[in-house]
């Protein structure tokens, strides 16, 4: 098995998943493979499916909660899918490109449309998967075309309109056998100075209102509405600062759970479940979690 995996990309064994998610929690995975090309990824998926070996696709791990259990399978890291090409106002980016990097590069090229994404810690593939959004703009607003690996292991390029999307969700969340390889975005001509002013102002606001100094996965729950954000609901119940083990509901922003040091996946999950239960019982609101559990029974 090891020899086969080495033919499909860069291979690591017995890897701590703490290094591959923004919560900095999780157990050990047996193998981590980073394919270098579309063809290597195709070959890898073909082999894993044939041998019925469990696998999981990973971008920047910014919306995931890995369990502490041993993952007896293959984690496929798309970090090598990191090419960016700009043609006029069209931007082509690999699934492994980090959104802050892409946003800053487009601003430097005097393009506008990605200012909202400068503080999103996800990859292009992950942002499409989750339809990441901020400041009333979302990934699908600018998405034109997606190149992907289908469940039949075929590489296809399709218009973004072929895939459904909604508030912090998309077709890909419900159809995990589709793997995003790269995407084309349509931006507009802008002004670098004006874009940087917007970005810097928003960065200052985030530093004051969000616990960016601690490992977290951003907002834990979707907002029931713009008028009634989850953070305000949780704060009004007096839950700020509530702690289980090393995990804490941030005192800066109640919709953030932070790793205060040596938090476990179980600490974080128990805190999420506590919030959900309290809000359901006291406000009759069924909060929807943004993060995804990986490797849990």
Separation between Cα atoms, residue 201 and residue 253, nearest integer Å:
18
197 is catalytic: no
Separation between Cα atoms, residue 121 and residue 124, nearest integer Å:
10
Q: Is 15:28 a contact under the CB 8 Å cutoff?
A: yes
With 0-12 / 13-18 / 19 or more C-beta atoms within 10 angstroms meaning exposed / middle / buried, residue 166 is exposed
222 is catalytic: no
Report the 3 state secondary structure along the chain: CHHHHHCCCEEEEEEEHHHHCCCCCCCEEEEEEECCCHHHHHHHHHHHHHCCCCEEEECCCCCEEECCCCEEEEEEECCCCCCEEEECCEEEEECCCEHHHHHHHHHHCCEECCHHHHHCCCEHHHHHHHCCEECCEEHHHHEEEEEEECCCCCEEEEEHHHCCEECCEEHHHHCCCCEEEEEEEECEECCHHHHHHHHHHHHHHHHHHCCCCCCEEEECECCCCCCCCHHHHHHHCCCCCCEECCEEECCCCCCEEEECCCCCHHHHHHHHHHHHHHHHHHHCCCCCECCEEECCC
Residue 239 corresponds to which tokens in the numbers above?
Answer: 């839950």
Separation of CA 279 from chain center: 25
Say which of 34, 138, 219, 250 is annotated catalytic: 219
90 is catalytic: no
Say which of 34, 67, 168, 250 is annotated catalytic: 168
Residues with catalytic annotation? 168, 219, 290
């Amino acid at each position: 098995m090891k020899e086969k995996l080495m033919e499909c990309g860069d291979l690591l064994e017995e890897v701590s998943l703490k290094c591959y998610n923004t919560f900095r929690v999780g157990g050990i995975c047996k193998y981590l493979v980073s394919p270098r090309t579309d063809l290597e990824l195709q070959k890898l998926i073909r082999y894993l499916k044939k041998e019925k070996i469990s696998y999981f696709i990973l971008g920047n791990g910014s919306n995931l909660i890995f369990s502490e259990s041993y993952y007896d399978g293959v984690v496929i890291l798309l970090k090598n899918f990191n090419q960016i090409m700009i043609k006029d106002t069209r931007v082509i980016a690999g699934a492994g490109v980090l959104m802050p990097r892409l946003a800053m590069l487009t601003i430097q090229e005097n393009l506008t449309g990605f200012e909202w994404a400068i503080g999103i810690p996800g990859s292009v593939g992950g942002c499409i998967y989750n339809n990441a959004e901020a400041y009333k703009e979302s990934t699908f607003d600018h998405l034109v075309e997606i190149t992907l690996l289908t469940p039949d292991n075929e590489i296809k390029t399709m218009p973004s309109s072929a895939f459904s999307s909604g508030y912090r969700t998309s077709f890909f969340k419900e159809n995990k056998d589709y793997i995003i390889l790269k995407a084309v975005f349509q931006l507009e001509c802008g002004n670098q100075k004006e874009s940087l002013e917007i970005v810097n102002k928003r960065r200052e606001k985030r530093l004051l209102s969000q616990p960016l100094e601690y490992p977290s996965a951003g907002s834990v729950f979707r907002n029931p509405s713009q008028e009634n954000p989850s953070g305000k609901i949780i704060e009004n119940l007096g839950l700020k600062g509530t702690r289980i083990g090393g995990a804490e509901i941030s005192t800066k922003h109640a919709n953030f759970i932070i790793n205060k040091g040596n938090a476990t996946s179980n600490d974080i999950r128990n805190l999420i479940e506590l919030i959900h239960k309290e809000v359901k019982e006291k406000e009759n609101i069924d909060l929807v979690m943004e993060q995804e559990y990986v490797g849990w029974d």
